[in-house]
A and B are shown apart, each in its own frame.
Chain A
Amino acid sequence: MSTSIPIHRRWRSRLGILPGFGLSLGITVTWLSVLVLIPLAALFIHASGLGLSGLWAKLSTPRVIHAFQVTFGVSLVAAVVNLVFGLLTAWVLVRYRFPGRRFFDAIVDLPFALPTAVAGISLTALFAPNGWIGGWLDPSGLVLGVRPTDQALWQWYDYLRFEVNYTQFGIGVALTFIGLPFVIRTVQPVLEEISKDTEEAAACLGANRWQIIFRVILPELLPAIITGFALAFARAIGEYGSVVFISGSKYLQTEIVPHLIIIKLEEYDYQGATALGAAMLVVSFIMLLTVNFLQRWAERRAGDRP
């Protein structure tokens, strides 16, 4: 007869002395189920009613494919822009002391808090041809003050004119705006942690400024950079409120998937909307998974933080 330890005891001994595992796991699973898993499952169940061929029929229209291209393409560009400028901003905020630093540091979080519709409307107004920034991008407003009447001049005007509103560039502007905080907020603490010693050590070994940045600092920041990039990218893919105003949702030009889903709903095409949602979910999930693996790899390379 072997002395049998009750199963819950064995569990406990395996898990160590920290109490409350059962309770906290239960709450976590319930919470995630109610908020995430059940809605997502419902989405899939609803979409599966279409069958694979039906799903494909809904998704393979030029309009949907184009919307997907725009959404993921522009989100990617916006995330890359945020990566570069977010890195730069984080650097400035961490490394330099200047008047107003705290103010700028606080401003970074604004895109988190601002209703996205407000952001979209403000951007649209700014980039309109008579707006503060749009006026500068429109040479007629800048140089001539009036729109040309001559036909030949019109051609030049069209050539020189750089429009933001109702273009994919405009979508990019909106997505860059709402993704701004992510890279900054993830890189900032890690950058603060890199000790001055490390840079000084590199300098004493003969490394110049560029070598220090590209061979010492950036590799150490890589995991944080990837995280920030992934967050900004994910946020951009799902963004709707700020984009609809500035994009104008032109057919086959500036339609994004989230807006297309709304359009489908307004047309009572619930199945189409579900199909789009499910497809969106799958693609996003795969992309985030990839980024996650990338991040793990980078973290392993960077080693555990002390």
Chain B
Amino acid sequence: MSIIVSHLTKRFGSFAALDDVSLEIPDGELVALLGPSGSGKTTLLRIIAGLEIPDTGRVELHGVDATNDTPQHRKVGFVFQHYALFRHMSVLENVTFGLSVKPKHERPSKEAAEAKARDLLKLVQLDGFAHRLPNQLSGGQRQRVALARALAVEPKVLLLDEPFGALDAQVRKELRRWLRRLHDEVHVTSVFVTHDQEEALEVADRVVVFNKGRIEQTGAPHQVYHHPATPFVHRFLGSVNVFNGRVAGTKHAKVGDLVVTPSWDHTPPKTDDLAVFVRPHDVEIERRRDPICLIPAKVIEVAAAGPTVRVELERSDDKHRVEAELSHDRQNDLALRAGDEVYIGFSRYEVYDRSQETVIDYQI
């Protein structure tokens, strides 16, 4: 294990940024800490780097207790959202900085340091920029310099705090794919913080979802996306339709006439108040009532621009709005238009007990 944190707690005044958080990060993985702002993900990253001191708990780096080490001694690379480059130094000087501040007996010669910096600049595809000043570079280039600078000291772990947060959408997408490839090359254990679920799901080996200072779920991207452990994760990782459900017998629940089969991991809840979460692309639409599509609805709007067709519907029974996503092929078959009467069903869903989740609200 590269990083083990156990029972970390950190409060800022009355605000609990981290509430008893434990996490293990294996060697060589690229892990995303995902959550809304204020959920504690950045605080955890800063505690791992030694930039913040936890109130309680322990940080282990490569099997050694580092809780009381200063950032200088932790040998972690840290990349900031706003680059934090040294403005008065050239790109090359920025990258060699970490080597030049080493104690004399560890410090490489100036030539060796520069050779290494040039290799790193090649790695981040900035070979020709060694003598530029940071303010002569674009945001994406600056962040790559920051990355090269962090890698120059050969950190045992690389920590990135919203590394693409300050960049525009296009550069952001490019850079995160590039980070993935870089990680496959360098293989240094990396942890990055993001509030962008798409970014986390696309880049990371593992995603850790944060909410209100606690870890909601840890798992591979497909796992957290397709099998969210909590309603919060479900909601945070993509848009979702929430249907009111009621318990029907010991094994089933019902949404309107539609029977769903929750995977109760215990006895069914006493309450009748269930929430059935269905992602838009898991909503099925048929023109006729069939065994799957049992809920009558009316098409409100069809938006066919983009990779999928977005259909907005209104349930005929309780007038709740439902959002669905169809492939263009499916829309060609159905030829849906505003005002059409249809039936909807779910191909995949998750059922939650509303009485047990005070954490999230139900406004969409």
Task: List A residues at the B interface (Cβ < 8 Å).
Answer: 195, 197-198, 200-208, 211, 215-216, 219-220, 222, 301-304, 306
Closest to A302 in B: B88
What's the minimum C-beta distance from B185 to chain A, rounded to whole angstroms? 22
Apart from the given pairs A202-B86, A204-B74, 10 other A-B contacts in the complex at a CB distance below 8 Å: A201-B146, A202-B101, A205-B97, A206-B72, A206-B153, A222-B88, A302-B87, A303-B88, A303-B135, A306-B135
In Å, the complex CA distance between A301 and B135 comes to 11
List residues of chain B with CB within 8 A of the CB of A301. 88
29 contacts across the A-B interface (CB closer than 8 A): A195-B84, A197-B82, A198-B84, A198-B86, A200-B71, A200-B80, A201-B78, A201-B84, A201-B86, A201-B146, A203-B71, A203-B72, A204-B71, A204-B74, A204-B78, A204-B150, A205-B149, A206-B72, A206-B75, A207-B72, A207-B97, A207-B101, A208-B101, A211-B101, A215-B97, A302-B87, A303-B87, A303-B133, A304-B135
List residues of chain B with CB within 8 A of the CB of A205. 97-98, 101, 149-150, 152-153
Near A by CB (< 8 A), chain B positions 60-101 give: 70-72, 74-78, 80, 82, 84-89, 97-98, 101
List residues of chain A with CB within 8 A of the CB of B88. 219-220, 222, 301-303
In Å, the complex CA distance between A198 and B153 comes to 17
In Å, the complex CA distance between A215 and B82 comes to 20
What's the minimum C-beta distance from B130 to chain A, rounded to whole angstroms? 16
A206 to B101, Cβ gap below 8 A? yes
What's the minimum C-beta distance from B138 to chain A, rounded to whole angstroms? 13
Decide if B51 is an interface residue (CB 8 Å cutoff): yes
Decide if B47 is an interface residue (CB 8 Å cutoff): no
In Å, the complex CA distance between A211 and B149 comes to 16
Quick one: which of B76, B85, B87, B102 contacts A204, CB cutoff 8 A? B76
Decide if B49 is an interface residue (CB 8 Å cutoff): yes
In Å, the complex CA distance between A220 and B80 comes to 19
Question: Given that A205-B149, A208-B72 are contacting pairs, would A200 and B51 also be in contact in the complex, using a CB cutoff of 8 Å?
Answer: yes
Closest to B159 in A: A204
Q: Which 3 A-B pairs have the closest CB atoms?
A: A205-B98, A197-B84, A303-B135
Task: List B residues at the A interface (Cβ < 8 Å).
Answer: 49-51, 70-72, 74-78, 80, 82, 84-89, 97-98, 101-102, 133-136, 146, 149-150, 152-153
By DSSP majority rule, is chain A's interface helix, strand, loop, or mixed?
helix
In Å, the complex CA distance between A306 and B70 comes to 30
List residues of chain B with CB within 8 A of the CB of A202. 86, 97, 101
In Å, the complex CA distance between A211 and B87 comes to 16
In Å, the complex CA distance between A216 and B146 comes to 15
List residues of chain B with CB within 8 A of the CB of A304. 135
Quick one: which of B49, B84, B89, B102 contacts A206, CB cutoff 8 A? B102
List residues of chain B with CB within 8 A of the CB of A201. 78, 80, 84-86, 146, 149
List residues of chain A with CB within 8 A of the CB of B97. 202, 205, 207, 215
A215 to B101, Cβ gap below 8 A? yes
Quick one: which of B75, B80, B101 contacts A197, CB cutoff 8 A? B80
B134 to A303, Cβ gap below 8 A? yes
In Å, the complex CA distance between A208 and B136 comes to 28
In Å, the complex CA distance between A181 and B280 comes to 64
What's the minimum C-beta distance from B53 to chain A, rounded to whole angstroms? 13
What's the minimum C-beta distance from B156 to chain A, rounded to whole angstroms? 12
What's the minimum C-beta distance from B56 to chain A, rounded to whole angstroms? 23
In Å, the complex CA distance between A123 and B134 comes to 48
B51 to A204, Cβ gap below 8 A? yes
What's the minimum C-beta distance from B194 to chain A, rounded to whole angstroms? 17
In Å, the complex CA distance between A204 and B101 comes to 11
List residues of chain B with CB within 8 A of the CB of A303. 87-88, 133-136
List residues of chain B with CB within 8 A of the CB of A197. 80, 82, 84
List residues of chain A with CB within 8 A of the CB of B135. 303-304, 306
B77 to A204, Cβ gap below 8 A? yes
Closest to B77 in A: A204
In Å, the complex CA distance between A205 and B51 comes to 12
A195 to B78, Cβ gap below 8 A? no
In Å, the complex CA distance between A306 and B166 comes to 14
In Å, the complex CA distance between A306 and B135 comes to 8
In Å, the complex CA distance between A220 and B133 comes to 13
List residues of chain A with CB within 8 A of the CB of B72. 203-204, 206-208
List residues of chain B with CB within 8 A of the CB of A222. 88
In Å, the complex CA distance between A231 and B66 comes to 48
A206 to B87, Cβ gap below 8 A? no
List residues of chain B with CB within 8 A of the CB of A207. 72, 97-98, 101
In Å, the complex CA distance between A133 and B288 comes to 100
In Å, the complex CA distance between A205 and B80 comes to 13
What's the minimum C-beta distance from B143 to chain A, rounded to whole angstroms? 12
Closest to A201 in B: B84
In Å, the complex CA distance between A211 and B152 comes to 18
What's the minimum C-beta distance from B88 to chain A, rounded to whole angstroms? 5
Closest to A299 in B: B88
What's the minimum C-beta distance from A209 to chain B, rounded to whole angstroms? 9
Closest to B133 in A: A303
What's the minimum C-beta distance from B136 to chain A, rounded to whole angstroms? 8
For A201, A202, A203, which residue has the most chain B Cβ atoms within 10 angstroms?
A201
Quick one: which of B82, B133, B136 contacts A195, CB cutoff 8 A? B82
Closest to B72 in A: A206
In Å, the complex CA distance between A50 and B102 comes to 64
A216 to B86, Cβ gap below 8 A? yes
In Å, the complex CA distance between A204 and B156 comes to 12
For A205, A219, A222, A304, which residue has the most chain B Cβ atoms within 10 angstroms?
A205
In Å, the complex CA distance between A205 and B71 comes to 8
List residues of chain A with CB within 8 A of the CB of B85. 198, 201
What's the minimum C-beta distance from A301 to chain B, rounded to whole angstroms? 5
List residues of chain A with CB within 8 A of the CB of B51. 200, 203-204
What's the minimum C-beta distance from A28 to chain B, rounded to whole angstroms? 30
In Å, the complex CA distance between A204 and B146 comes to 12
Closest to B70 in A: A203
